[in-house]
Amino acid sequence: MNEFQYRLGELCCEDVPLRKLAVEFGTPLYVYSESHIVGQYQALDKAFRGLDHMICYAMKANSTLAVLRSLARVGAGFDIVSGGELYRVKQAGGDAAKCVFSSVGKTREEIEYALREGIYCFNVESEAELQFLSDVAYRMGRRAPVAVRVNPHVDPDTHHYISTGKEESKFGISIERALKVYREATRLRGVEIRGVQMHIGSQITKTGPYVLAIKKMLPLVEKVQTLAPQTLRSFDIGGGVGIRYKDQTPPTAQQFAAAVKPLLKQASKRGLRILMEPGRFIVGNGGVLVTRVLYVKQTPVKRFVIIDGAMNDLIRPALYESYHEIQPVKAGKRTKAKVDVVGPVCESGDFFAQGRTLPVVEAGEYLAVMSAGAYGFAMASNYNSRGRPAEVLVKGRKYQLVRRRETRQDLVRGELLP
Ligand code: LLP
């Protein structure tokens, strides 16, 4: 995490000490580095130069308006999965014409909204959806641009909750059936074939599964182009490129591009634009969750560091047993101890680390939970009636509060007493 380094004994985000932000805005607090986020987008963009391409940031990873705006400003498109996400794109000043819409359960209202806004493409995940989409669009006097989300049955070698390209997955349409579905699409009045799409999973740390999946997909792409030569415009290779949380060695933008570009050139030569939908790669290592130590509790068998952040703020350790580094905000040589770092929520699953050897910390000091930029705030909830954290965006020496901490009033807003 290059933008999060110790300087003069303090962990900083770019040029701003995290302690300063924690004091000013309170904790738990999400802090993002704009330079990292925009830098990751630009690195990928640069790596794919020479190939007509569009990067649709998978905003489910982090849909905070300020983050979306930073990316929209440098030209990003967006991968959306709901009407709510499209609304956010619009609020942030993003371009609907650069949005692809995935989801196995798009509702009529969402489809109508997306059609009115003129999105680039619907990534269709079932035959039933294709038919429904066609009906809705036809009734509106339009043709919905579609890509079939094809499931190439490739094992991405990641956590099973976030592995999507295998045969048993609920996502997409099997590669064996895909061509039949495209043929059906040519007969429908309310759709127009715009693309072919795949997405095999998330936190993929090798290039092999992409190479394998793309190789499987290319013959299909060619056939679809024969079916719809006038309207087919793109091949979307999905998202999923992993990041380093602990000791993984995921590909850099350059390495990823070097692995897949030679294969994609074929499609590109035939006039197709290459789309991709990275989420975590762009924001994951661009954010941390700053928390304060409330208590240190020694039991006969364990030592607990109890912090003010909890599973409602960052659910990844509880949900995927995922590893996030934890660093004291104040540097310095200290002895180490084996601890569990836990939050105040009433669940044993409310932990950030278990049996981890960390520098000894005291009540009152700040800890940063690293690599929390993706699927952190975006998955936060109000469980235990805890307000969700504030968020700060840093750029160089400048910083700005981009989301206020939720108040007690926020917690009950929208509720009605009978
Ligand atoms: N495109 C599609 C169709 C997706 O389903 C996803 C992620 C992405 C792109 C972006 O994947 P990424 O580049 O961020 O890996 N909450 C989990 C991750 C869930 C991913 C869901 N789909 C986590 O915290 O690890």
Closest to 371 (Cα-Cα) out of 79, 76, 33, 44:
33
Of all residues in the chain, what percent are helix, strand and coil, respectively (each to 5)?
Answer: 35, 25, 40
Let me know how many helices (H) and strands (E) the chain has, helices first: 12, 21
Q: Which residues pair with 320 in a beta bridge?
A: none
Tell me the Ramachandran region of residue 116: left when phi exceeds 0, alpha when psi lies from -120 to 50, beta otherwise.
Answer: alpha
Q: Nearest 5 degrees, angle CA 364-CA 367-CA 369?
A: 150
Closest C-alpha residue for ligand 1 atom 9 = 239
Query: What pLDDT was estimated at residue 155?
Result: 85
Q: Looking at mean pLDDT, say which of 1-10, 150-159, 361-370 comes out highest.
A: 361-370
Helix (H) or strand (E) holding 318: helix 316-320
Q: Which residues are CB-neighbours of 106 under 8 A, at least 6 positions away?
A: 114, 122, 129, 133
Cα distances from 323 to residues 73, 256, 260, in angstroms, run 32, 23, 28
Closest atom of ligand 1 relative to the 277 alpha carbon:
9
Give the residue-averaged pLDDT of 157-181.
78
Task: Provide DSSP, 302-315.
Answer: -EEEEES--TTT--
| CA 238–ligand 1 middle distance (angstroms) | 9
Averaged over 72-100, what is the pLDDT? 98
Mean pLDDT of 142-152: 97
> What is the arithmetic mean of pLDDT over 165-186?
88
- Which H or E run contains 9? none
Residue nearest to atom 22 of ligand 1 (CA): 202
Spacing, Cα 374 to ligand 1 middle (Å): 9
Total residue count of the chain as it appears in this document: 418
- Which pLDDT does position 345 carry in this prediction? 97
- Number of Cα atoms under 13 Å in the Cβ half of residue 371: 19
- So what's the pLDDT on residue 269? 87
- Which residue of 161, 199, 202 sits with most ligand 1 atoms within 8 Å of its CB, as the best mutation to test the pocket? 202
Ligand 1 nearest atom to the CA of residue 374, by list position: 24
Residue 28, preceding peptide bond in cis (omega within 30° of 0): yes
If you measure from the C-alpha of residue 36 to the centroid of ligand 1, how many angstroms do you get, rounded to a whole number? 19
User: Could you tell me which of 52, 99, 97 has the C-alpha nearest to residue 271?
Assistant: 52
Residue 407, class by beta-carbon neighbours within 10 Å (0-12 exposed, 13-18 middle, 19+ buried)?
A: exposed
What pLDDT does 170 receive? Answer: 82
Q: Which atom of ligand 1 is nearest to the CA of 284?
A: 14
The pLDDT of residue 310 is above 90: yes
Average pLDDT over residues 15-25: 98
Ligand 1 center–CA 62 separation, angstroms:
11
Q: Model confidence over 328-363: pLDDT tens digits? A: 999 989 999 999 999 999 999 999 999 999 999 999
Give how far Cα 372 sits from Cα of 38, 212, 322, 325, 363, Å.
Answer: 16, 30, 11, 10, 22
- Report the C-alpha gap between 388 and 28 in whole angstroms: 9
Confidence at 165, pLDDT banded by 50, 70, 90: low
Confidence of residue 167 (pLDDT cuts 50, 70, 90): low
Token pair 């942030």 in the structure block, residue: 92
Alpha helices in 188-315 (DSSP H): 208-227, 253-269, 280-283
Question: Of the residues 57, 60, 170, which should be mutated to test ligand 1's pocket, given the most ligand atoms within 8 Å of the CB?
Answer: 60
Cα–Cα distance for residue pair 225/267, rounded to 1 Å: 10
User: Which residue owns the Cα nearest ligand 1 atom 12?
Assistant: 240
Tell me the mean pLDDT in the region 315-336: 96
pLDDT band at 169 (very low <50, low <70, confident <90, very high): confident
The two tokens of residue 6 are 């110790």
CA of residue 396 to ligand 1 center, whole Å:
29
Name the residue with the closest Cα to ligand 1, atom 24: 375
Name the residue at shortest CA distance from atom 23 of ligand 1: 375
Residue 183 has pLDDT above 80, yes or no: yes
Which residues are part of the catalytic machinery?
346
144 CA distance to ligand 1 middle (Å)? 24
Q: What is the mean pLDDT of the chain?
A: 96
Residues above pLDDT 90, as percent of the chain? 94
Both tokens of 86, joined, read 């499209």
Q: Provide the pLDDT for residue 163.
A: 61
Pairing of strands 191-197, 173-174: unpaired
Please state which of the ranges 138-142, 169-173, 397-401 shows the lowest mean pLDDT. Answer: 169-173
Residue found by looking up tokens 């949900």 in the block: 319
The residue-averaged pLDDT of 402-413 equals 98
Q: Which residues line ligand 1 (CB under 6 A)?
A: 58, 61, 79, 102, 162, 199, 202-203, 238-241, 277-281, 316, 320, 374-375
Confidence band of 171 (pLDDT split at 50, 70, 90): confident
Statement: residue 189 has pLDDT above 70 = yes
Taking the CA of residue 280 as reference, the ligand 1 atom at the shortest distance is 14
122 token code pair: 């619907």
Whether the Cβ atoms of residue 401 and residue 392 lie closer than 8 Å to each other: yes
* pLDDT recorded at residue 286: 98
pLDDT at 392 over 60: yes
